[in-house]
Amino acid sequence: MSSALTIARPYARAAFALARDSSMPLWSIRLGFAALIAADARVQSLLGNPGLTVDDAVALVAPPGPPDAHFAQFLGVLADNGRLALLPDIYAIFTQLRAEAERVVRAKVTSATPLDEAELGKLRVALAKRLGTQVEVTTAVDPDLIGGAVIDAGDVVIDGSLRNKLARLQTALAG
């Protein structure tokens, strides 16, 4: 496990606890924005600059709009501890915690050809039934699969690709 993730985890849990007490969607948006800014290579170099004050560092990654005292305080704690660069990892863990709390599984469907909305709808319903929870689906296309699809839903991976079936057939024939 990455040491950055180990360090980021308690901050993500703290952000999640603060968000649960106020507005989860708003915290998600703000944290996502700050993570996107902090992930930029130019910002990373600025965050590592010892001449950057805590207030300037917070202002650099803070989302626009009316300030939120708790979110600003959270960013201040990160800046005080030199952890603003961990915002992308903190956001990833926060998003995972939110999905678990809301009982939502995020599934990535990689198919050989693009899927239309009707196919995605059927797939979403079937996955929700199988996993017993709400499912959010993202898609990707990989022509190397030849046909079929690979579904990655966290702990569950379903490989129904033609490439995989051909590889299994080759192994069975060679064995």
pTM listed for this prediction: 0.69
**pLDDT digit string, tens, across residues 115-151:** 999 999 999 999 889 888 888 899 999 999 998 899 9
**pLDDT digit string, tens, across residues 52-98:** 999 999 999 999 988 888 999 999 999 999 999 999 999 999 998 99
Count of C-beta atoms within a 10 Å radius of residue 163: 16
> Per the structure block, which two tokens stand in for 54?
């805590």
Q: What are phi and psi of 156, to 5 degrees?
A: -110, 125
CA–CA distance, 55 with 160 (Å, rounded to integer): 51
CA–CA distance, 118 with 78 (Å, rounded to integer): 44
